[in-house]
Amino acid sequence: MSRDAVLQKVRTALGRTPGEPIAEPPSVRLRIPSVDLETRIENMLRAVEALAGKTHRAASAEDARAYVGGVLGGRSAVASNAPFLRQCGIVDLPGVQSGFTDRLALRELCATADVGITSADYALSDTGSLVMLASPAEARLISLLPPVHIAVVPKERLLSGLDELFTILPRLAEQTSSMVLITGPSRTADIEQILVRGVHGPGEIHVVIL
Amino acid sequence: MAQRVSLFVTCIVDQLFPNVGLAMADILEHLGYELDFREDQTCCGQPAFNTGYRAEACRVARHFLKVFRDSEYVVVPSGSCTSMIAHHFHDLFADDAEALEEADSMAPRVWEFSKFLLEVARVDDVGARLDDVVTYHDSCHALREFGIQEGPRRLLANVRGLELREMDAAEECCGFGGTFSVKLPEISGGMVRTKIDSIVRTGAKTVVSADSSCLMQIQGALSRAGLPVRTMHLAEVLASR
Amino acid sequence: MSVAFDEKVHKTLADANLQLAIYKATGRLIDHRKHAVGGAALPDYQELRSQANALKRHTIDHLDHYLEQFEANVTAHGGQVVYCQDAAEVADFVLRLAKERGAHLIVKSKSMTTEEVDLNERLEHHHLESVETDLGEYILQLAHQRPYHIVAPALHLTRYDVGDLFARTLGVANETAPEKQTLIARGVLRQKFLAADMGISGANFLVADSGAIVLIENEGNARLTTSAPKIHIAVAGIEKLIPRAQDLATFLKLLGRSATGQSLTVYTSFLSGPRREGEIDGPEEFYVVLLDNGRTRLLADREKRQSLYCIRCGACLNHCPVYRKIGGHSFPWVYSGPIGAIITPQFKGIEHEPALPFASSLCGACAEVCPVKIDIPKVLLDLRAEEKRAEERTGRNRMERLAFRIWAWVMCHPRIYEMAAMVAAGMVPSENGHWLRRAPAALKLPPVQAWLSQRDLPPAPAKSFRELWRRR
């Protein structure tokens, strides 16, 4: 069996026996800087804009809703089942379909919708990243197939960065099959090193912080 | 009582660029050091080591250690030779405890010339004068194994009449690499031509470096290209009055 | 030096446009990295490198433990680990699964490991359609070429090459604007993503305590490859393991910055199995293929084992003055640059291309920028010594070995050295201090000719240093 053969070769190469205990790994290195909320918000907005993403700091749920409505401009959209979107009234905007639980139906819609609207589980303010965990509330394809992605995120979910993320999510793999960090619009420089946005993922992203 | 310094001029300086050794000696004497030139010195063994001939490199390394066994300071006008002695002798003698001990005892006593000036003699101005526009090439071993980068520039900054212009990619390898230069000459040649393009863009009249093998490679290419730029070792610049 | 290697090198050096393309592309990546890891951008860069090196060393030194932990966790989350000893076993597994599931169309995201095992060729041989979805790799697939660089696979092609290629293979109009070309590819590939039965990816990291793979990218094709089809297969070398999810805080800070200067690439995916209960989309089946293919051989060598720490950032390629001259296609295998130079002889045996460890000036630029602190020059030197020992055993390269034996003997006998030096100097005309364009009659030796093929020789000075010293 290949499994046994490979493991045996590994052990022989290392001079180890099955079940042999291991030395202590290097200690986990997580350094969480202390950054107040206001600074996190500023950092997040600045970082997203530096990546050619668009941002909006909403004063209220109505303000967030209005901004999203403005971006939609009558186009078709699919929104995730995130409770936060419902609370902001975003799923009620004209042209927005949501509440899908069927994989194929959702996929159909994502493939044809102009805009995908989600919330985010967290955001990393130093890199301008959205953290999306797959769940009944957030499907994977909504932030991936439509050419425009809008994320509406409550400010309390802003983290300082990766170190904080990996500190507060010690059992990440237990919670979800997929966590994605989204840092700016899809891009490539594969042809003559010239930057082109919107290759397979959305070429236009909006981050709304409420 | 004056401090005693042993000169290890390197085989390439001994045979091809003797003025570099003389310049280095002049400066050290001027600073008050008593010099010895041990006539039994030959080579550090690097050519054999780099080409994969460990046994041959070992023999030459042992000879070096014998010649300089009791030297308090061995000063070398080359970062690559210094790195061979200070770092790679250790790799050569992994199986020979006695030789390893000798090699490890030599390591702190061998000094690349500019590092010796700055850290042992503690001078950055040797009273030199040279009216010229120069550019400086960072030799790879000096730069990456000893962090020699700011030092030579500080020394050059104090040379009266000298203007230093930085080339782009001063840190890029000149393409010598020992036997690499003759085993893969086309690549080596391509690399040095990129280097001399960089040099020419500065408008400098002279290229300075702290390693004669780099200078040999660069001067060889300048000459082949018919360019009027000359090369000088850092020691020669610093010995100019 | 094999003829093939020499020819490829010569061709690349002679192509001025290609030289410029390589130099500019790598130069840009050098600058991007510099800004991303320098000073205030990443103040603990050196500390992170040390941590990354320590983590890799620990994991590799206890690889069996972490393989088993990884496997247990993948299984616990509903996935399956498949160990493969070589390229054939990877293909066999994929083919068997495809047959069982009635799969015909496969989408692939960028994976050097799958290039290593020629997966596409093997699948196509069995009439499966396997489509590369990373733009650069898609272009190369259509052109039947290998990647030129780990991170910028199509850096040797111009927009005109791409325009011609698309027109010829896709039957579209000849577009030369990169934006339009990207849109064409996007349109074609979107259909493939949505119709594909299987998605095959690589993995940048395998996380042992989570049974998860980590995939980084900028385009979104890896996300689509691993989320749209019902089956996801990740193919990774066994050395990709890291102990804990928390260690990603170290590795993710180093990888993007070292590769392209990005603090994070656009998408970083952490995937730990088929979709869970309640999740709306995602694959129903999740497989991780763990590939040996010679890695266990590297593991056995304590000194050179560090070659397995590589996280495939490409920084060594960008900074290598040799790579910047000879480009990716001069290398005999899929891995190019300094990392390719050290792992190719170890995977394939040094006879595969004996010149490779010698095709370096040992400048050390690679070691300086390697995020996991692989001492590439040291491994190159070890490989050179191994090659020379092999040559001695098999009686090859006798002249060179004799020359070095004599050289060493001379260098251990100072009076002989002085005499030999004087004799050699006597053979060189003084030329009034001018450098020599041609070999002196008595010194027409191959190394001298090789030197002169590219640059002039220094004239012998009237007196050597030691002669001058004696008169001082």
- Does residue A12 fall inside a structural domain? no
Domain end marker among B119, B142, B175 = B119
Domain count for chain C: 2
By CB atoms closer than 10 A (0-12, 13-18, 19+), residue C282 is buried
- Does residue C120 fall inside a structural domain? yes
- Residues in A closer than 8 angstroms to C134, CB to CB, are 190
State the CATH number of the domain containing residue C33: 3.40.50.10420
Scan for tokens 């490198």, then name that residue. C49
Is B17 found in the same domain as B38?
yes
- Does residue A101 fall inside a structural domain? yes
By CB atoms closer than 10 A (0-12, 13-18, 19+), residue A38 is exposed
Is B83 found in the same domain as B129?
no
Q: Which domain holds residue B80?
A: 4-119
- Does residue C113 fall inside a structural domain? yes
Domain end marker among C296, C326, C356 = C296
Is B114 found in the same domain as B148?
no
- Does residue A3 fall inside a structural domain? no
Domain end marker among C253, C269, C296 = C296
Flag whether B touches A (3+ CB pairs, 8 A cutoff). no
Is B144 found in the same domain as B214?
yes
Q: What is the pLDDT of residue B1?
A: 60
- Does residue A66 fall inside a structural domain? yes
Q: What is the pLDDT of residue C432?
A: 80
Pick from C363, C411, C465, C414: which is nearest to B178 by CA? Answer: C363
CA distance C367 to C369: 6
- Residues in B closer than 8 angstroms to C400, CB to CB, are 51
Query: DSSP assignment, residue C436?
Result: B
Is B179 found in the same domain as B138?
yes
Is B193's pLDDT higher than 80?
yes
State the CATH number of the domain containing residue B104: 3.40.50
Is B99 found in the same domain as B48?
yes
Is B102 found in the same domain as B141?
no
Identify the closest residue of chain C to B20 by CA–CA distance: C465
C465, C470, C471, C472, best to mutate vs chain B, most B CBs in 10 Å: C465
Report yes or no: C192 and C181 within 8 Å, Cβ to Cβ.
Answer: no
Is C237 found in the same domain as C94?
yes
Q: What is the pLDDT of residue C441?
A: 85
Is B199 found in the same domain as B220?
yes
ipTM, interface predicted TM-score of the complex: 0.98
Query: DSSP assignment, residue A48?
Result: H
Q: Does A28 touch chain C (CB under 8 A)?
A: yes
Q: Under an 8 A CB cutoff, do C365 and B216 touch?
A: no
CA distance B29 to B31: 5
C133, C280, C346, best to mutate vs chain A, most A CBs in 10 Å: C280
Neighboring chains of C (3 or more beta-carbon pairs < 8 A): A, B
Is C417 found in the same domain as C292?
no
Q: Which domain holds residue A36?
A: 32-209
What torsion do the CA atoms of A125, C56, C270, C368 make, to the nearest 10 degrees?
50
State the CATH number of the domain containing residue B234: 3.40.50.11810
CA distance A95 to A77: 6
Q: What is the pLDDT of residue A153?
A: 98
Is B110 found in the same domain as B64?
yes
Is C271 found in the same domain as C123?
yes
Domain count for chain A: 1
Q: Under an 8 A CB cutoff, do C182 and A188 touch?
A: yes
Domain end marker among C254, C273, C296 = C296
Domain count for chain B: 2
What are the phi and psi torsion angles at C393 (to 5°)? -60, -40
CA distance C371 to C319: 13
What torsion do the CA atoms of B179, B10, B208, B24 make, to the nearest 10 degrees?
180
Q: Under an 8 A CB cutoff, do C385 and B52 touch?
A: yes
- Does residue C270 fall inside a structural domain? yes
State the CATH number of the domain containing residue A164: 3.40.50.10420
Percent share of chain B, pLDDT over 90: 98
Is B170 found in the same domain as B233?
yes
Q: Which domain holds residue C431?
A: 409-470
Is C417 found in the same domain as C287?
no
Per residue in B98-153, pLDDT tens?
999 999 999 999 999 999 999 999 999 999 999 999 999 999 999 999 999 999 99
Query: DSSP assignment, residue B59?
Result: H
Is B128 found in the same domain as B114?
no
- Low-confidence residues of chain A, pLDDT below 70? none
* pLDDT by residue, tens only, chain C of 472 residues: 688 899 999 999 999 999 999 999 999 999 999 999 998 999 999 999 999 999 999 999 999 999 999 999 999 999 999 999 999 999 999 999 999 999 999 999 999 999 999 999 999 999 999 999 999 999 999 999 999 998 889 999 999 999 999 999 999 999 999 999 999 999 999 999 999 999 999 999 999 999 999 999 999 999 999 999 999 999 999 999 999 999 999 999 999 999 999 999 999 999 999 999 999 999 999 999 999 999 999 999 999 999 999 999 999 999 999 999 999 999 999 999 999 999 999 999 888 888 899 999 999 999 999 999 999 999 999 999 999 999 999 999 999 999 999 999 999 999 999 999 999 888 887 778 889 999 888 888 999 999 999 999 999 999 999 999 999 8
Is B213 found in the same domain as B107?
no
Pick from C264, C284, C271, C253: which is nearest to C213 by CA? Answer: C271
- Does residue A163 fall inside a structural domain? yes
- Residues in B closer than 8 angstroms to C453, CB to CB, are 185-186, 189
- Does residue C363 fall inside a structural domain? no
Q: What is the pLDDT of residue C138?
A: 97
Domain end marker among B100, B119, B138 = B119
Would you give the distance in Å from CA A67 to the centre of its chain? 20
